[in-house]
Structure 1
Amino acid sequence: MARIVLGVGASHSTLMNTHWDRVVHTEDAERFRDALGEARDAIAAARPDVAVVVGSNHFRGFWLDLIPAFTLGVGEVVGAGEAGTPKGPQRTHPAVARALAEALIERGTEVALSARLQIDHGQTHAIQYLLRDLDVPVVPLVVNVFAVPLPRPDRCVALGHNLAEAVRALPGDLRVVVIASGGLSHQLPWPADWRDPQNADEEFLVEAWLNGRGEWERYDERRRAIITAARPVIFSGFDERFLADLESGDLRRYASWTSADIERAAGNGGQELRTWLTMAAALGFAPGRRLAYAAMPEWLTGMGVAMVEPAGTAP
């Protein structure tokens, strides 16, 4: 029987690739990077046949002309390649992806399907650091966390539960790793509501989000300038509590939170925690283990890495 053999949650930031030389908190940055390496080694030791990468998309693969709550890549997957992240076709497993899609829909999670999915660092950062040099195909599962209205956290938990059942329904003895990419707390200089931009920068961003299909790079220089000029806002107290709840197997309690609850506690970038909830639910909310946490103002984000092993996992 196919089964999930490991879950990993990891923050992402392209500033790791582009702004390492500007890091002041060097020890924290190195500890986070080393934890990514530790998680990568644990993935290798788990010998997965496929990795389901649950992540967000930052309007380089989805735009406001069409942005579903959940999307599964069931065919070709292409990395956008922004800021030194993997670019071009990624190794995939379409047969597994399509079987998972059918099983998810049968179980009540109506995922959108993409036979040619472009992903950005919401997925490729994990491929770059957690699957480095591992010959493991990916199945990307993209969660909308930025274009309101957002899927409710409890629906993300249901997605995770259904994903676990869908994996168990796969033929053969496939070993599956589930990776959550995103978070922890951070505040992006993005409009709170794309329907109501408040200044020239927000108007520009909404224009980029609406019209970027096929030409997102035309907007990218100013987009990154807006991001890198932002004042860091990190809620490290929340991050510590969230990771403590992961370690005790208590992330289920966030299923009752609203988007407003998440933003108050963890900033608008904290909406990416939906990916962690999906992963944790797929692992049955088993107690996990924190590998590292660092509040990194240079990367605008509370950076965490953790692993969850399902109860009774055989070596």
Structure 2
Amino acid sequence: MTEIVLGVGASHCTLMNTHWEQTVHKEEAQRFRDALAEARDELAAAAPDTVVIIGSNHFRGFWLDLIPSFTIGVGECVASGESGTPKGPQPVDVPLSRHLANSLVEGGRFDAAFSARLQIDHGQSHAIQYLLDGLDVEIVPIVVNVFAHPLPALARCADLGAAVREAVLGFEGDRRVAVIASGGLSHRLPWPDWRDPQGEDEEFMVRAWLDGRDNWQDYDARRREIIRAASAAINPEFDDEFLTLLEKGESRSLTRYSTEQLEEVAGNGAQEIRTWLAMAAALDNVPARRLSYEVIPEWLTGMGVAVLDPATRSDA
């Protein structure tokens, strides 16, 4: 029998790798890093065979020539390796990933895209680096479009998580499965709406997103300069509201936000909470336990970690 044994939501930021020594809020950064390690230990204790990683794309695995709303990796999976994150082939649970893709499509729930040769970036590999460190597991990567408008509605992402749960539990093999959401919380990236770039930097970014399929590394140095020059726009009140709802098992109520409303309140980077909504639904919205929340302006992001343990519901 296949079961879902744990869920984890965690912010990601490659500045952890590239600019740790330059981080001013070191105590906050260390507390966040310690929370990642605690979540990693809880994953190890849950002993999953497979980890479904729901993450975002940062225009190193997908480009504007083709942007699906949801993509499932069903074969080879290669990590880009940008900014000190893991690089190269990643182990995929092919039978489960193909069952998942088939179930979503044939069940009429989602016409999700699939890739037999998926390239992922730190939207998934940051979680592999910190949450799966030393764990002998395979993955099922799911990429959610959160940066190239039009974006899938928040409610649609929660529905995806519910469909993933149904498909995983219906798998006839014997699997212990964990689900990780990678991304968020509130932050604003100096990234344009690709449909209407304003100024030289935004036009450069859109060109990188359109032309970078075969040479994305050529654009990376200037991309990093643009990001490092940005000012932080973190909304701790929004982040606390979101994490509190997650703790109550009520994160779906956040689907009341439209894409535009969410960006206005919490920044374009907060669109990544779609991954958390999907993960929470895959755990049947069991109440979460918050491990950490830190405001780290140098990383531009409200950094949070939470764990969802289905055993807490059965013990209640």
Coarse TM-score class (shorter-chain normalised): over 0.9
Say whether residues 1:179 and 2:183 are aligned partners: no
Aligned residues: 313
For 1:76, the equivalent position in structure 2 comes to 76
Amino acid at match of 1:35: A
Cα RMSD after superposing both structures? 1.0
For 2:127, the equivalent position in structure 1 comes to 126
- Supply the distance in 2 between the matched residues of 1:313 and 1:59 (Cα, whole angstroms): 41
Deviations 1:264-309 (A, max 9, x none): 2210000000000000111111110000000111111000000011
C-alpha displacement of 1:313: 6.1
- Supply the distance in 2 between the matched residues of 1:224 and 1:205 (Cα, whole angstroms): 11
For 1:231, the equivalent position in structure 2 comes to 231
Amino acid at match of 1:60: R
For 1:23, the equivalent position in structure 2 comes to 23
The range that moved more, 29-38 or 255-264, is 255-264
C-alpha displacement of 1:125: 0.1
Q: For 1:30-41, what aligned pairs fall within 5 Å after superposition?
A: 30-41=30-41
- Supply the distance in 1 between the matched residues of 2:41 and 2:191 (Cα, whole angstroms): 35
Q: For 1:133-144, what aligned pairs fall within 5 Å after superposition?
A: 133-144=134-145
Say whether residues 1:218 and 2:210 are aligned partners: no
Amino acid at match of 2:306: A
- Supply the distance in 2 between the matched residues of 1:171 and 1:257 (Cα, whole angstroms): 37
Deviations 1:48-102 (A, max 9, x none): 0100000001000000000100000000000000000000001111111101111
Amino acid at match of 2:275: T
Deviations 1:84-140 (A, max 9, x none): 000000111111110111111133111101000000000000000000010111110
Amino acid at match of 2:204: F
Amino acid at match of 1:240: D
Is contact 1:18-1:83 (8 Å) kept? Answer: yes
Amino acid at match of 1:309: D
For 2:52, the equivalent position in structure 1 comes to 52
TM-score by length of 2: 0.97
Deviations 1:178-236 (A, max 9, x none): 00000000000011x20110110000000000000011001010001100110111011
- Supply the distance in 2 between the matched residues of 1:2 and 1:233 (Cα, whole angstroms): 42
- Supply the distance in 2 between the matched residues of 1:255 and 1:226 (Cα, whole angstroms): 31
For 1:147, the equivalent position in structure 2 comes to 148
- Give the % identical residues: 63
- Supply the distance in 1 between the matched residues of 2:239 and 2:251 (Cα, whole angstroms): 12
Amino acid at match of 1:201: D
Is contact 2:242-2:254 (8 Å) kept? Answer: no
Q: Which runs of 5+ in 2 are unaligned?
A: none
Look up the SS of the partner of 1:278 in the other structure.
helix
- Supply the distance in 1 between the matched residues of 2:225 and 2:65 (Cα, whole angstroms): 24
